[in-house]
């Protein structure tokens, strides 16, 4: 019912910045929480940040103070501003959406590669 389209990934030097965007379409009325996950080669997919429709946020400890999640409900778009990037941030980043009342991810984006070189 929901489609998530991501953009903004790329390759940057350590200390640089990127902003990821995720545009949602379809039955967006069913979505409450949105977020970003990432997965590096050989590692499990991990939660990066979440944001509710009311703007409450949650961050993984590894990105606190460097990443900012935000959303524009009028545009049905969620963003991830990534500053002070480190090679450890290299991963495929996935947009995610949760239906109201769900504790599990219901919809995934296609993923966008972020590569940070030292």
- What is the tens place of the pLDDT at every residue in 71-96? 998 889 999 999 999 999 999 999 99
- Give dist(CA 80, CA 22) in Å, integer: 9
Structural contact between residues 94 and 47, judged by C-beta atoms closer than 8 angstroms: no
> Which among 104, 80, 99, 112 has a CA at the least distance from the CA of 26?
99
Residue 22: predicted pLDDT: 97
Per-residue pLDDT tens listing for the chain (118 residues): 899 999 999 999 999 999 999 999 999 888 999 999 999 999 999 999 999 999 999 999 999 999 999 999 888 999 999 999 999 999 999 999 999 999 899 999 999 999 999 9
Residue 37: predicted pLDDT: 98
Structural contact between residues 20 and 34, judged by C-beta atoms closer than 8 angstroms: no
- Give dist(CA 78, CA 8) in Å, integer: 12
> Which among 118, 89, 68 has a CA at the least distance from the CA of 9?
89
């Amino acid at each position: 019912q929901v489609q998530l389209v991501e953009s903004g990934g790329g390759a940057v030097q350590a200390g640089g910045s990127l902003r990821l965007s995720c545009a949602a379409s379809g039955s967006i009325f069913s979505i409450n929480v949105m977020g970003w996950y990432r997965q590096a080669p050989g590692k499990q997919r991990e939660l990066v940040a979440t944001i509710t429709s009311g703007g409450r946020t949650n961050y993984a400890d590894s990105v606190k103070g460097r990443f900012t999640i935000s959303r524009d409900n009028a545009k049905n778009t969620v963003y991830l501003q990534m500053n002070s990037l480190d090679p450890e941030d290299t991963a495929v980043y996935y947009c995610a959406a949760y239906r109201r009342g769900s504790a599990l991810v219901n919809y995934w984006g296609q993923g966008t590669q972020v590569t940070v070189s030292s």
